[in-house]
Copies of this chain bind each other. A is one copy, B any other.
Amino acid sequence: MIRCPRGTRDFLPDEMERRRHYEGILRDVAHTFGFREIGTPIFEEAELFIIRSGPNILDELYGFKDKGDRELALRPELTAPAIRLFVNGMSNHPKPIKVFYFGQCFRYERPQSGRYREFFQFGAEIIGSATPETDAEAIALAVSMIRGLGLTDYRVRIGHIGILRQRLVDAGVGKDDMAEILRKLDKKSYDEAEPLLEDAGVSDADIADIFAMTDGTDGIGILAGIAGEAGDHLRSVLSCLRDMGVRDVEVDLGVVRGLDYYTGIVFEAEAPALGAEKQICGGGSYTLSELFGGEKVFSTGFAIGFDRILLALEKEGAVYEADGIGAYVIPASAEMRTRATEVTALLRAAGIPTDTDIMGRKLAKAMKSASDSGARCAVIVGAKESEDDAVTVRDMVSGAQTVVGIADLADFIRRP
């Protein structure tokens, strides 16, 4: 028996409809923020992802050559394609450009809870603006999406890559040691960061101060004591967010994320219910277009892990019930089949999801099918009622039966 490849999933109707529902919410929220959707191919030149993420990404890429010997790869993320699209086709659009996207991404990694080889990412980018308002707009969208989905237990932490970098430079960390130390601090691996900082010649007092700065507690208080442009910028972002009604964010100067890639603010959202794989969103400001052959523009963007956020909603007990079938039409006898088909077509044309027996089943068996279908009502087309242009509507929950005229049928069924 052939199954779907390891790390990929099939979605049966209940799950698929749930996913489409939540996907629709994310799209609606993005639209209310004035973001517009773009689409890019499932695969790209592998080079695109190496430029953004470095050659290590090769280990995680599903790569292949096409028959023209070009090195292609299934996309592992969507920021690089979005910026490539901007460089290729939108660079002359008025700035700022606000776009979002949703689709499958692929990483060749060990499948585990909340991690798949084929996963779904929703993301947004604001291209061509570098103001605090820009960063606030992106963060507000991310938070509004999380809230819009109905997730209640989430944390959003905002930092600024420039603040921590400057603090490390001031403490004497040189260029060569910077990346490794940032990586340890990002993971809050202080045991491992300490010897690295000592080797870099940082004093014990500075080390303690750096640890306090990055441990995620009292971030607002620490930020208040930080002078300079980066500190001012982050304070302005927080002020804008307050004006937008986004107050449930924390300052955590230890958020570093993709290191070299980000240029200013960085932020992450997590759903604590998910345990070790709790990050549901990450983003920040960056420049990328110049690496793809375009002019250098500042951007702020983020990506939401759609699979993980759905998992978080599930853990919170969120239930989505699809609308399902409105009516199941049944001919009371073989002679009424034509009439039943007409009634079915009529309800469908009225926009009511309608199913009917197509297997020639007799009344009792067809009633069973109606019940299996989850239809809210069965519409029984009998000879006697048909003479008066009417049918019998049976409420599948209460069992109540009502004779309804054909002219009123769609309205009758549509009633809540």
Q: Which residues of A contact B (CB under 8 A)?
A: 1-6, 8-13, 16-17, 19-20, 27-28, 31-34, 36-45, 47-48, 51, 62-64, 66-68, 70, 72, 74, 81, 84-85, 87-90, 94-96, 98-99, 104, 106, 108, 118, 126, 129, 131, 133-134, 136-137, 140, 144, 240, 243-245, 292-294, 323, 325, 338, 341-342, 344-345, 347-349, 351-360, 369, 372-373
On whether the beta carbons of A66 and B5 are closer than 8 Å, the reply is yes
Chain B residues, CB < 8 A from A95: 359
On whether the beta carbons of A12 and B90 are closer than 8 Å, the reply is yes
Chain B residues, CB < 8 A from A359: 95-96, 129, 131, 133-134
Evaluate whether A63 and B66 lie within 8 angstroms (CB atoms) in the complex, with A5-B44, A13-B99, A342-B243 already known: no
Chain B residues, CB < 8 A from A108: 66-67
Complex CA distance for A28 and B104, rounded to whole angstroms: 23
On whether the beta carbons of A89 and B243 are closer than 8 Å, the reply is no
5 shortest interchain CB distances as A-B pairs: A34-B355, A1-B293, A11-B39, A13-B36, A8-B41
Return 14 A-B CB contacts under 8 Å, by A number. Answer: A1-B293, A5-B41, A9-B39, A10-B89, A12-B90, A16-B37, A17-B37, A20-B27, A32-B351, A33-B355, A34-B354, A43-B74, A134-B359, A244-B344
Instruction: Taking A129-B358, A245-B349 as given, write out 14 further A-B residue pairs in contact, using a Cβ cutoff of 8 Å, ordered by the A residue number.
Output: A1-B292, A5-B44, A5-B70, A6-B68, A13-B36, A13-B99, A17-B37, A19-B39, A20-B37, A34-B353, A94-B372, A133-B341, A133-B358, A244-B342
Determine how close the nearest CB of chain B comes to the CB of A225; give it in whole angstroms.
Answer: 25
